[in-house]
Amino acid sequence: MENLMRVCRSCRAVGTLLLTALSWSSCLPVGEEAVCTAPGLGRYTISFTGKWSQTAFPKQYPLFRPPAQWSSLLGATHSSDYSMWKKDEYVSNGVRDFAEKGEAWELMKEIEAAGEKIQSVHSVFSASAIPSGTGQTSTQLEAHSRHSLVSFLVRIVPSPDWFVGVDSINLCEGNRWKEQVTLDLFPYDAGTDSGFTFSSPNFATIPQDTVTEITSSSPSHPANSFYYPKLKSLPPIARVTMMRIKKRQRVFVPTPPAMVRMGNEIEDSLSETPLDCEVSLWSSWGLCTGPCGKTGAKSRTRYVHLQPANNGTPCPELEEETAWIYKMEQWDRNHQDFLDSAPGLGLFVTVTTYSDEVLLSRLYGSQGAFTFTSYSPGEHIICLKSNSTKLISFGGSKLRIHLDIRVGEHDLDAVIAQAKDKVNEVSYRLEHLTEQIEQIIKEQNYQREREENFRMTSEDTNSNVLWWALAQLLLLISVGIFQMKSLKDFFIAKKLV
């Protein structure tokens, strides 16, 4: 009996251990992140530092209407059940409004709805806007062990739909709160607007795209404001620091960004991005500036697309002129000298490159000028031949050709260059407007199709409603006739009539 009791006690102990193990295994975290078991609340001071300077990002840096600045910061502490935004995923309507216009009402409603329905949001925090590209703003946030993730957004102003922020950064590490978290921030595209530059007009992306990180080579288009093909990666455009508040620390009072002075720690960390000069292709050769047969020159030009900055490659010469002035003389036996050639004598000119590409092949008169354009450097072969063997034989097979070759480079007048740069900028904007017009035409066609479908549906519905009304009317008349007949039969049966 005692042995049986011992066996029962051992069975109970084993069963208790099994139940404990099973219950513990059901509480183990799923995935790589461990469950936060930090005691109490984690209170932090979050400081956002803008590093968007003209030296770090010189290309198309906005200086006015509006100048470079940051919107207000909006964030939340939440659990893994909620996501404010995520890379390679579509943004919500609230994030779209915030990224495009800086409007936070819809995003606040979404955060509050997530907190009420699934209890996934613990607190919401915000910080004041920064009126310049560089500066600081700060506020406080509070995290819970079940809501230890932090997400926030700050809009880049001006921009189509670009922003910086963090997505679900964990402030908890096992059973303790992290003392400090510092992150460099880079620009993101919300995928709702197709603008390429900071000041691009509203150009909705249809269909909507996912959130993508903007890099020095993506989007791969020279018109993009963050396009720096010689850089492996962009310098950080902002930085965020979350510092834990000690229990005995004084209560934090948010400081307006205008009162925060940019200290040495910000100035020293601002990087300088070299910006190389960008010029257009050579134009076609212009007209000769001298009279026919005299020394003259033809010129071609190119214009500056982008001025250099931060010790970038300087602009090359913007104007180049090349002139080939020739005069052919024929040997005269009587005078024993070279005299002006006969009227019928001409010169056949052939110019080829080192790869046997023919740049010029043409017959000219006995004197004049010729030019050619080569878009690749290297050796060029110029062959000169007479067009008449009879005149050469008559003249003693002697011809003398005077060549005046002039190759020079000269800067354009600064005022003219600036005017042409403005014209070039306008041409870029016209191309962008053309793309927008095409997109608007597509949207109009889409709206026409929708209106046509709606009209057809309305007409079908109206006809169906008409027939249904007629059917109801006939049914009512039939019911009325039947009731009147029944009433008449009832009166006859009761001998009331």
Give tens-digit pLDDT for 256-310. Answer: 554 444 433 344 444 566 667 777 776 665 555 555 444 455 566 666 666 777 6
Distance CA 50, CA 478 (A): 80
Q: Who wins on pLDDT, 131 or 410?
A: 131
* Confidence label for 321 from pLDDT (cuts 50, 70 and 90): low
Distance CA 363, CA 232 (A): 52
Q: Which residue do the tokens 């080579």 mark? A: 217
Distance CA 396, CA 341 (A): 13
pLDDT score for 459: 84
* Confidence label for 132 from pLDDT (cuts 50, 70 and 90): very high
pLDDT score for 18: 34
Q: What is the CB neighbour count within 10 angstroms for residue 124? A: 17
Q: Mean pLDDT lowest for which of 7-16, 44-53, 335-344?
A: 7-16
Pair 48, 136: CB distance under 8 Å: yes
Q: Which of 393, 405, 399 is nearest to 329 (CA)?
A: 399
Cβ neighbors of 458 (< 8 A, separation 6 or more) are none
Distance CA 480, CA 133 (A): 80
Q: Who wins on pLDDT, 380 or 390?
A: 380
Q: What is the mean pLDDT of the chain?
A: 77
Q: Which residue ranges form the domains of the chain, and what is each CATH number?
A: 31-267 (2.60.40.2130), 278-412 (no CATH)
pLDDT score for 288: 56
**What secondary structure letter does DSSP report for 335?**
T
Bridge partners of 74, per DSSP, are: 126, 153
Bridge partners of 50, per DSSP, are: 135, 238
pLDDT score for 74: 96
Q: How far is CA 462 from CA 64, 134, 336, 456, in A?
A: 55, 62, 107, 10
Q: What would the pLDDT profile of 191-207 be if each residue is shown by its tens digit?
A: 999 888 998 888 888 88
Whether omega for the bond prior to residue 66 falls within 30 degrees of 0, making it cis, is yes
Q: How many CA atoms lie within 13 A of 120 on its CB side?
A: 15
Q: What would the pLDDT profile of 341-383 be if each residue is shown by its tens digit?
A: 666 677 778 878 767 778 778 787 767 666 666 555 556 677 8
pLDDT score for 210: 95
pLDDT score for 491: 84
Q: Which of 30, 52, 439 is nearest to 262 (CA)?
A: 52
Cβ neighbors of 80 (< 8 A, separation 6 or more) are 33, 149, 168
Q: Mean per-residue pLDDT for 151-161?
A: 96
Pair 373, 358: CB distance under 8 Å: no
pLDDT score for 249: 55
Distance CA 472, CA 465 (A): 10
* Confidence label for 450 from pLDDT (cuts 50, 70 and 90): confident
Is the backbone of residue 495 left (phi > 0), alpha (psi -120 to 50) or beta?
A: left
Across 284-293, 401-410, 457-466, which has the greatest mean pLDDT?
457-466
Distance CA 225, CA 129 (A): 22
* Confidence label for 68 from pLDDT (cuts 50, 70 and 90): very high
20: pLDDT strictly greater than 60: no
Q: Of all residues in the chain, what percent carry a pLDDT higher than 70?
A: 66
Distance CA 309, CA 488 (A): 104
Distance CA 97, CA 102 (A): 6
Whether omega for the bond prior to residue 207 falls within 30 degrees of 0, making it cis, is yes
Distance CA 5, CA 37 (A): 41
98: pLDDT strictly greater than 50: yes
Q: Which residue do the tokens 């910006």 mark? A: 275
Distance CA 99, CA 190 (A): 7
Q: Who wins on pLDDT, 487 or 156?
A: 156
3-state secondary structure of 115: helix
Cβ neighbors of 97 (< 8 A, separation 6 or more) are 103, 104, 105, 106, 107
